[in-house]
């Protein structure tokens, strides 16, 4: 009669350490990627309301220009004058002719300052700069 040893069949061993390592690496990657995308949107800009506003995109290809309440333009948290903004736009458009440009004007900013930034965008070659708003409540 053949007697089977119970310990011989329980040699199945799954190593969870590599799976936990991969999980932590993915978690760190997505946390870093999310914080970089949100850096453009963290300025203290109070957007005006509009009935036909579009959603704020999280695309990395968008070039976001913020206009604060005093009418100064910022890109990536850095203040830009007209010449620097034009140069930045021309460089981005030369690299990617389909470059999307979004202008986020503070609701307290004057219409003239937002229109001036839009004019700089058009002068640099941006075909359709997008003026961002938030939906009505």
- At 35-80, the pLDDT tens digits run 665 555 566 777 777 776 655 444 446 889 999 999 899 998 889 9
pTM of full prediction above 0.75: no
Please give the tally of structural domains in the chain.
1
Domain that holds residue 121: 42-135
The answer as to whether 27 is a domain residue is: no
Q: Does position 23 have pLDDT exceeding 70, yes or no?
A: yes
Our separate counts of H helices and E strands in the chain read 3, 7
Question: Residue 67: what pLDDT?
Answer: 92
Per the domain annotation, does 100 fall within a domain?
yes
Does some domain include residue 18? no
Q: The domain that contains 62 carries what CATH number?
A: 3.30.420.270
Q: Is residue 1 part of a domain?
A: no
Q: Is residue 109 part of a domain?
A: yes
34-48, 95-109, 112-126, range with the lowest pLDDT:
34-48
């Amino acid at each position: 009669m053949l007697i089977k040893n119970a310990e011989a069949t329980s040699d199945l061993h799954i190593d969870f350490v590599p799976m936990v390592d991969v999980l932590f690496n993915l978690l760190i990657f997505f946390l870093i990627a999310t914080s970089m995308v949100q850096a453009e949107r963290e300025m203290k800009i109070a957007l005006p309301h509009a009935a036909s506003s579009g959603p704020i995109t999280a695309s990395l290809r968008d070039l976001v220009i913020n206009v604060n309440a005093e009418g100064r333009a910022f890109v990536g948290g850095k203040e830009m004058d007209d010449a620097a903004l034009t140069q930045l736009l021309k460089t981005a458009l030369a690299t990617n002719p389909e470059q999307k440009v979004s202008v986020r004007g503070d609701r307290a900013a004057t219409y003239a300052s937002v229109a001036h930034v839009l004019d700089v965008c058009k002068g640099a070659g941006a075909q359709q700069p997008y003026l961002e708003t938030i939906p009505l409540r």
